[in-house]
Amino acid sequence: MSTQPTDFLSGVIEGFYGPPWSPAERLELFDWMAAWGLNTYLYAPKDDLKHRALWRELYSEGEAATLRELIRAGKLRHLRFIYALSPGLDIRYGSEVELELLRKRFAQMLALGCENFALLFDDIPDRMDVADAKRWDSFAAAQCHVTNEMFRWTRERSPAARFLFCPTPYCGRMAERNYGGEGYLATVGRELSPEIEIFWTGPEIISREIPVAHIQELQKVLRRKPLLWDNLHANDYDGRRFYCGPYAGRAPELRNEVSGLLVNPNNEFPLNFVPLRTLAGFVCGTGTWDARNAYLSAMREWLPHFATVGQPVTLEDLIGFGDCFYLPHEEGPEAQALFENIQALLSTHPAQWGERAAAFRQQAARLRDFCARMTELRERPLFYALSRRVWELREELDLLEKFVAFKSQPANHHASFTSDFHLPGTYRGGLVARLQRLFPQQPDGSFTEYRR
C-alpha cells in the first residue's frame, strides 16, 4: 500500500530517443504499474514524429484510435495518462497561428479521453525566431507565455488537469552553463503559473545521486516542488548497454521534496522489470531504502521470465548476469569482482598467477555459458532485447578466457597471443570504434588525444 498522497505522481515516462514501445508492451507496462502501486504514465516518445518533429500535424484516424485505446486501458487500471508535446524545435512563440495548432492537438487528445498534458522544451536549439526575440527579452519568458496560455485553455476544458513543463536547462549542470540564457530558471519560477509542475533530472542528465539538499535549493528558484524526470535507467545514449539494476542513489526523504517521481527507462521494454519493480518499492515503501536487497527481491520475481527450452536458469546466475548491466555509474558487486580479478591477472606476470587464473576461468566460463543459454529463452521478445549485449559479453569473456589459458602455459609466458575468432576489422571494428581509440576518455572525465 502506497504511503504517498494520491496527488503524488509516480510511474513511467516513455520519453526516450528510439523506436517507441508497441501497444502490447504499453499494456503490459500498465499491468505492472497497476499491480505495483504506480499511478502515472507520460506519453512522450521522442521519435514519434508527431510528438516532436511534426507537432503541428494532427494524428490520423488510425493513430488516434491507437491512442484512444491506450488512454482507455490506463483508465481501466486507474492510471493517470499524461500526453506530452514537444514543439520547441521550431515553434514561433509569439504566433497566434502556432498557438492555435497547439490547441487543435490538445483538443484532439481531449476528444480521445486524455485529461492531463505537458509541454516539453528540452533538447532544443538555444535560440528564438527574430520576431520572438524582439518581443521577449528571454527564452524563458517566451516559453512561459505559450505554456501559461495552453494551461489556461486546458483547465477550461479539463478542470482537474495536471499540467507539466520541461525547461530547456533541466539539470544542475545545464543551469550552471546558462542553457536557455542567464537567469532562465528564475524567470520560469517567477512567470510560470504556480500550478504548473516543472520537470528536473537532478544534478546531471543521468544523475548518480539526487541529494535532498540539491532539490531544496532548486525549490527556492522554481518557487514550487519540482517533478523528477529520472533518467537513471535510460540507455538511449549508449546502444551497447542497458540497466537492470535497482532504483538507487536517492534517499527516501527525497519523496517529500518533489511533486512526483517518474522514470524514463531502457528503450527495450522487456529489460525494465527490475528498474520499475524497485522504483515501486521505493515510492510505496516506508523506512530506510536498501537498493541491493530490493534488486535481489525483484530478480527473484523476474526469474520466471527466463524459462528456457533447455537447462534451467538459476537465480544465482541471473543475479551475476544482471550485475554486468547494473547502473550507469557502477557494476553490481559480482561483475565488479570479475573485473577486478581479470585486472589483477593482466597487471602481473603469468608466472605469478597461480590459482587465480583457474578461478577466473571458471568464473568467466559460467557467465559465458549463461549468455549462451539466453538463446534458448522461451520469451522471445526478452531474448531479442538482450541478444546484442549478450553476444558482445560472450565475445569478451571468450577472448579473455582463451588469453588466460594460453598465458598460463609456461612456454607461452612471453609469447604473443592471437585469436582466430577476434580478427582486426571484424572485432571491435568500424569507424566509431576507431574514433574512440583516437580520443579516449580518462577516469576523471577529461579526454586525451591519440599518440603513437
Which residues share a beta bridge with 228? 200, 261
Q: How far lies 3's CA from each of 6, 260, 289, 368, in Å?
A: 9, 13, 14, 42
**In terms of Cα–Cα distance, which of 6, 18, 161, 2 is closest to 81?**
161
Structure confidence by residue, pLDDT tens digits, 25-60: 999 999 999 999 999 999 999 999 999 999 999 999
Q: Any idea which fold 9-286 has?
A: TIM Barrel (3.20.20)
What average pLDDT does the segment 332-341 reach?
96
Confidence of residue 3 (pLDDT cuts 50, 70, 90): low
The residue extents of the domains of the chain are 9-286, 315-435
Determine which of 390-394, 401-405, 442-446 has the lowest per-residue pLDDT on average.
Answer: 442-446
Max Cα distance, the chain (Å): 82
**In terms of Cα–Cα distance, which of 375, 348, 372 is closest to 360?**
348
- Average predicted confidence (pLDDT) for the chain: 95
Q: Catalytic residue among 48, 90, 123, 238, which?
A: 123
Structure confidence by residue, pLDDT tens digits, 113-141: 999 999 999 999 988 899 999 999 999 99
pLDDT at 434: 86
More confident: 6 or 333: 333
Q: Any idea which fold 315-435 has?
A: Methane Monooxygenase Hydroxylase; Chain G, domain 1 (1.20.58)
DSSP string across 70-87: HHHHHHHTTPEEEEEE--
Q: Using DSSP, state whether 212 is helix, strand or coil.
A: helix
Structure confidence by residue, pLDDT tens digits, 191-244: 999 999 999 999 999 999 999 999 999 999 999 999 999 999 999 999 999 999
DSSP string across 405-435: HHHTSGGGTTS----TTS-BTTBS-SHHHHH
Active site residue 444: no
Which residues share a beta bridge with 260? 9, 227
CB atoms within 10 A of CB 33: 23
Residue 452 scores a pLDDT above 70:
no
Structure confidence by residue, pLDDT tens digits, 92-115: 999 999 999 999 999 999 999 999
Assigned C-alpha cell, 67: 491512442
Residue 449 scores a pLDDT above 90:
no
Residue 424 scores a pLDDT above 80:
yes
pLDDT at 450: 65
Intrachain domains 9-286 and 315-435 with the same fold:
no
Residue 1 scores a pLDDT above 50:
no
Which residues share a beta bridge with 10? 261
| Amino acid symbol at 444 | D
Structure confidence by residue, pLDDT tens digits, 247-306: 999 999 999 999 999 999 999 999 999 999 999 999 999 889 999 999 999 999 999 999
What average pLDDT does the segment 432-439 reach?
86
DSSP string across 33-83: HHHHT--EEEE--TTSTTTTTTTTSPPPHHHHHHHHHHHHHHHHTTPEEEE
- The sign of the CA dihedral 384, 388, 390, 394 is positive
Residue 5 scores a pLDDT above 80:
no
CA dihedral 274, 280, 281, 287 (to 10 degrees): 150
pLDDT at 2: 47
